[in-house]
Amino acid sequence: MELIVEVLNITAGGRRIAILSEETARMLGVHSSDRISITYCERQLIAIANVASHFPKKHIGLYEEISETLGLKTDETVEVHLAELPESLRHVRAKLRGERLGEHDVNTIVKDVLERHLSEVEISAFLTALNIYGLNMGENEALARAMIETGDTLDFGEGPILDKHSIGGIPGDKTSLLVVPIVAAAGFTIPKTSSRAVTSPAGTADRVENLCPVDLGISEIKTVVEKTNGCLVWGGALELAPADDLFIQVEYPLGIDPLLLPSIMSKKKAIGATHVTIDIPTGSGAKIKNMTEAYSLASDFVDLGMRLDLKIQCALTFGEQPIGYAVGPALEAQEALMALMGGGPADLKEKAVSLAGMLFEMVGVERGRDKAAHMLQSGKAEQKLREIIEAQGGNPRVKPDELPVGAYKADVTAEQAGRVLWISTADIASIAKTAGAPRAKGAGVVLKVKLGETAKKNDVLFEICAERSSKLESALELAHRLQPAVLSKKSENQMLLDRVPEKVASDRPFMLER
Amino acid sequence: MELIVEVLNITAGGRRIAILSEETARMLGVHSSDRISITYCERQLIAIANVASHFPKKHIGLYEEISETLGLKTDETVEVHLAELPESLRHVRAKLRGERLGEHDVNTIVKDVLERHLSEVEISAFLTALNIYGLNMGENEALARAMIETGDTLDFGEGPILDKHSIGGIPGDKTSLLVVPIVAAAGFTIPKTSSRAVTSPAGTADRVENLCPVDLGISEIKTVVEKTNGCLVWGGALELAPADDLFIQVEYPLGIDPLLLPSIMSKKKAIGATHVTIDIPTGSGAKIKNMTEAYSLASDFVDLGMRLDLKIQCALTFGEQPIGYAVGPALEAQEALMALMGGGPADLKEKAVSLAGMLFEMVGVERGRDKAAHMLQSGKAEQKLREIIEAQGGNPRVKPDELPVGAYKADVTAEQAGRVLWISTADIASIAKTAGAPRAKGAGVVLKVKLGETAKKNDVLFEICAERSSKLESALELAHRLQPAVLSKKSENQMLLDRVPEKVASDRPFMLER
């Protein structure tokens, strides 16, 4: 049927959507969400029909995505037909019934997600079904491969190319800021891409941004890595796995994360990594709650690595409290810098040395842990981070106290004396976010005591920093409500860990920082 | 933050969507799909943010749904903030984790679906999770009640108000066209609302539309029912359960139907029914495949009926082949009219008399089946249908052969002699749809043999009717490919029923005709 074009002069967020009146839709035999083919001057394109009640009949409304692709102007005429169900939608429907998908099936889905042939409704149903049924290893592999094949890749030449990744879930985890310079200082290549915070108070890219720009293009990254062996950049704009970026947009409002494995592995493979340590923080408030879950996930990572020709070792790490003391972009950058300069918290340095040591041993270095410790203690890692900062366009002579942090500060003190028995990482994250992190880079939380340490009544448990007084007040109020640290003189006097539902249900942080 | 309005002069299909640039979104701390509150002149509204890469910063793009509600024009200024997660989304996320929802939880979801506070992504995930986990009876009841409370209702005064409903799944099922006049002729009130075809070759509304208008408003329906005791109208525009209409839009592309029970029951309750027979066609190609499934669903209907104060009896009916011979809107209207006039197929009449008889017995009539048969045989039911046709604005003297059917016809003949062992109802539906049904009202299939009947080689098995020769050719080609009727001299000589996947996988018809 011939229809008259009405160009809407607005994008549909990348979606290929066309608007039809109810009457025109009925004449075409089209229901809302059906596919239609639009033909103009021998060019054809498949769009998803939205049926609107108040739209002129015999017209078709086209968002910019379509009008630009076909070179159409308002009042031109196009030929429109009901198109067949895309093959990918059949596979999505099969997954809704719990069927397992083969490599070909997954490829058609990923391709159609990228080409916008699948609607958000369909992608949402697909991801929900994956989240409920789980993925088998064949599906994980197929998804990882499809994500790699449809994205850009980086090539740093002869290997080994090392990398480190954390599945996230612990506030204050600035370990990458130490591991990358330790590994690069030893002469190995480690082109580290990281995410920004989505639901957490700081991602690695947010932390590094206090020291130097992180928003580098592919050729800039290559220059930095050639010069310094390493980099610490934001991976979000690199199109390493653009399909995954689209999946994340749908997962985000749902608070689900079914693609953890293929998402991480595809991005490691895309930057050309050959040897990767995956950090799996394990703790009651972390993404992974206990060692059983952690071993199972670790085994899946190793298995998927073998299928993708990627050497993987997983580190199961202590995740019952924040890493170091600082939580929030600038506060964490300060703390990482201090740790490289010889000070800083012991747990952070221990974790960084362990992970770097694992990487060294994976590529044949004996006593890798000692080598990592030497790189850190000798100041070579600090020197290397300053080289990377300079190569990425920052000030290589930056001092920790030059990084601006929030001017509004308040202490949260102990209501009773005792030993710290429990720290809720999710609550610490919520307080830091309420204080303004990650948007306010200088906002966050600084712990003054950690697990096992003792405090007297009225001793400071943690400090809140904010860039605005109203944010500080909100965070302080939340801190008093949540009471994220549990103290007791003796553990047998404090058997109650939490009250449900008296305690406010906080959103799950660290959802999609993978 | 203050933002400058850009009115987009286009609807978002009822959705409350606002567009922000990436930079503005980051300054607000907003991710795509987050809720934002928009305030203008003391009026406030919650919208879902879409983040666009090419949109002017410090501006907010508003679709008509928002600009009209707030009375906004381009270049005016609004105050915009990140809003909290709606409570309904927490319940949707709980369902994704497999938790059971309470009445309050379901109410917030249905309310937010109607007020467009939940996005299509979220509704899709919710329905997918319901489809996979199933609903318990409490959830079915809560959904039915929420759908009723948020929709319009009809009141026909003192009961009993009778109704009949089929869950669908069998082509050619024009039983309602007989049951309604049989029941109304006996003096009982039966205000029947029906659906149009969504995925099937004909819905009851499509069939009746060949005889008279079906698109009546609530007051017109009341007039028709007061005059004749019955009606046969399209329920789609009545807003009896508007939440369900929105759910159907999302279910349709996914091919899932998790809300069968609350959807049907809410609409029966909304028209004020007190006694309902629910037809559950059972057969290997129907929605319900076997008697075990059918008894389970029937028991759920009865249970839900008791919870909603609605007397329900379910009829488990033979669903291994089409009802009667005709499939397609006009062909079926012809056949139903013939059956009321004394001719017509025996199975159709038997089914209609059985269902009407059940209704009679439910309201205390003894030997209800005999009464129903009498209404049919005496011509009183025919007379009643003609009264209803007239009251709805059709020609009461219409004759079956005056209903126009497709001029392009072709026979499909037997390739071998034998007895009809099996008829694929799904294949018959696909052929009728390929011939043009339901859009082309005169298109469809007319069976010449049914189960257990014998045919000689080259005898006609069925005839295809179409309104255009190209449609006839496509349907004929499909018929030869699908071979929907299996014949054999002896059943032991024909053990192969189907070949998978050589046979084309046809779409599941009768998905949302509930």
User: Could you tell me how far CA B407 lies from the centroid of its own chain?
Assistant: 29
pLDDT one-digit tens code per residue, B111-144? 999 988 899 999 999 999 999 999 999 999 999 9
B80 vs B70: CA distance, rounded Å: 13
List, in order, residues 6 or more apart from B155 with CB less than 8 Å away.
B272
Structure tokens at A171: 């506030």
On whether any CB of chain A is under 8 Å from the CB of B224, the answer is no
- The whole-number pLDDT of residue A496 equals 63
- The whole-number pLDDT of residue B503 equals 39
Pairing mode of beta strands A35-40, A77-82 = antiparallel
- The whole-number pLDDT of residue A362 equals 96
Q: How close A302 gets to chain B, by Cα (Å)? A: 27
| DSSP H stretches of helix in A308-417 | 329-340, 346-362, 368-377, 380-391
A28 vs A2: CA distance, rounded Å: 10
pLDDT one-digit tens code per residue, A280-322? 999 988 889 999 999 999 999 999 999 999 999 999 999 999 9
On whether any CB of chain A is under 8 Å from the CB of B133, the answer is yes
Percent of chain A with pLDDT over 90: 75
Structure tokens at B498: 């189907």
* Residue at token pair 């501006």: B59
- The whole-number pLDDT of residue B14 equals 76
Average of per-residue pLDDT across B135-164: 94
pLDDT band at B374 (very low <50, low <70, confident <90, very high): very high
A interface test, pick of B132, B209, B474 with most A CB neighbours within 10 Å: B132
CB B166 within 8 A of CB B281: yes
pLDDT at B301 over 90: yes
pLDDT band at A15 (very low <50, low <70, confident <90, very high): confident
A431 vs A443: CA distance, rounded Å: 10
Structure tokens at B484: 């929907």
Phi, psi of A208 (to 5 degrees): -65, -30
- The whole-number pLDDT of residue B421 equals 87
Phi, psi of B294 (to 5 degrees): -65, -45
Of A511, A485, A487, A383, nearest in space to A431 by CA = A485
* Residue at token pair 């307080």: A431
- The whole-number pLDDT of residue B236 equals 84
B488-495: Cβ within 8 A, 24+ apart: B488/B416, B488/B418, B488/B419, B488/B421, B489/B417, B489/B418, B489/B419, B491/B419, B491/B421, B494/B418, B494/B421
pLDDT at B470 over 90: yes
Nearest CB neighbour to B10, from listed A8, A249, A252? A8
Average of per-residue pLDDT across B81-96: 92
CB B70 within 8 A of CB B106: no
B55 vs A8: CA distance, rounded Å: 14
What is the average pLDDT score of chain A? 92
pLDDT at A173 over 90: yes
pLDDT at A35 over 60: yes
The DSSP code for A288 is: B
pLDDT band at A491 (very low <50, low <70, confident <90, very high): low
Nearest CB neighbour to B132, from listed A54, A132, A249? A132
- The whole-number pLDDT of residue B398 equals 97
In terms of pLDDT, which residue wins out, B296 or B237?
B296
Of A90, A117, A114, A115, nearest in space to A104 by CA = A90
User: Could you tell me how far CA B347 lies from the centroid of its own chain?
Assistant: 23
Phi, psi of A371 (to 5 degrees): -60, -45
What is the average pLDDT score of chain B? 92
Average of per-residue pLDDT across B444-456: 95
Query: How crowded is the C-beta side of B35, counted as CA atoms within 13 Å?
Result: 18
- The whole-number pLDDT of residue B487 equals 83
- The whole-number pLDDT of residue A285 equals 84
Distance (Å) of CA B11 to CA A6, A100, A135, B61, B167: 14, 39, 38, 12, 34
pLDDT one-digit tens code per residue, B22-65? 889 988 888 888 899 999 988 888 998 988 877 888 999 998 88
CB contact under 8 A, B96 and A439: no
B162 vs B184: CA distance, rounded Å: 9
Structure tokens at A260: 């953890």
pLDDT one-digit tens code per residue, A181-198? 999 999 999 999 999 888
- The whole-number pLDDT of residue B285 equals 84
- The whole-number pLDDT of residue A505 equals 45
Kindly state the helix (H) or strand (E) to which residue A397 belongs, with its residue range. Answer: none
Nearest CB neighbour to B61, from listed A10, A19, A123? A10
- The whole-number pLDDT of residue B361 equals 95
pLDDT one-digit tens code per residue, B425-437? 999 999 999 999 9
Average of per-residue pLDDT across A15-33: 87
pLDDT at A206 over 90: yes
Percent of chain B with pLDDT over 70: 95
List, in order, residues 6 or more apart from A371 with CB less than 8 Å away.
A186, A357, A360, A365
On whether any CB of chain B is under 8 Å from the CB of A98, the answer is yes
Q: How close B16 gets to chain A, by Cα (Å)? A: 14
B151 vs B157: CA distance, rounded Å: 19
Average of per-residue pLDDT across A422-451: 95
User: Could you tell me how far CA B376 lies from the centroid of its own chain?
Assistant: 27
Average of per-residue pLDDT across A322-343: 97
Decide if the complex's ipTM is over 0.95. no
Judged by CB atoms within 8 Å, which residues 138-197 of A form the interface with B?
none
- The whole-number pLDDT of residue A14 equals 75
Chain B: residue nearest A29 by CA? B439
Maximal CA-CA distance, chain B: 81
CB B196 within 8 A of CB A31: no
Nearest CB neighbour to B31, from listed A51, A54, A198? A198
- The whole-number pLDDT of residue B477 equals 95
Q: Spell out where A159-302 has E strands.
A: 162-166, 190-194, 230-234, 275-282
Average of per-residue pLDDT across B163-191: 96
Nearest CB neighbour to B254, from listed A8, A11, A93? A93
- The whole-number pLDDT of residue A510 equals 66
On whether any CB of chain B is under 8 Å from the CB of A26, the answer is yes
pLDDT at B504 over 50: no
Chain A: residue nearest B249 by CA? A32
B313 vs B358: CA distance, rounded Å: 8
Structure tokens at A150: 């449809």
pLDDT band at A237 (very low <50, low <70, confident <90, very high): confident
Stated pTM of the model: 0.88
B341 vs B335: CA distance, rounded Å: 10
CB contact under 8 A, B125 and A125: yes
Q: Which of A244, A257, A300, A427 is catalytic?
A: A257
Q: How many CB atoms lie within 10 A of CB B365?
A: 16
Chain A: residue nearest B8 by CA? A10
CB contact under 8 A, A61 and B252: no
Q: How many CB atoms lie within 10 A of CB A308?
A: 18
* Residue at token pair 């202490």: A411
A250 vs A227: CA distance, rounded Å: 38
Structure tokens at A496: 């109650």
Structure tokens at A263: 């998402």
Give the CA dihedral B426, B432, B433, B439, nearest 10 degrees: -140
> Angle, to 10 degrees, between the axis of helix A120-133 and the axis of helix B120-133?
40
A139 vs A161: CA distance, rounded Å: 26
pLDDT at B438 over 70: yes
CB A409 within 8 A of CB A464: yes
- The whole-number pLDDT of residue B489 equals 67
CB A253 within 8 A of CB B124: no
Annotated active-site positions of B, please? 257
B291 vs B319: CA distance, rounded Å: 11
Q: How many CB atoms lie within 10 A of CB A246?
A: 18
pLDDT band at B401 (very low <50, low <70, confident <90, very high): very high
Phi, psi of B474 (to 5 degrees): -60, -40
Q: How many CB atoms lie within 10 A of CB B86?
A: 20
CB B183 within 8 A of CB B190: yes
Q: Spell out where B348-405 has E strands.
A: none
CB A215 within 8 A of CB A194: no
DSSP line for A97-120: TTPPP-HHHHHHHHHHHHTT-S-H
CB A17 within 8 A of CB A67: no
Q: Verify cis geometry, omega within 30 degrees of 0, for the bond prior to B160.
A: yes
Average of per-residue pLDDT across A404-409: 96
CB B78 within 8 A of CB B25: no
B443 vs B284: CA distance, rounded Å: 25
Of A382, A378, A353, nearest in space to A368 by CA = A353
Pairing mode of beta strands B77-82, B2-7 = antiparallel
Burial of A465 (0-12, 13-18, 19+ CB in 10 A): buried
Q: Spell out where A230-310 has E strands.
A: 230-234, 275-282
On whether any CB of chain B is under 8 Å from the CB of A497, the answer is no
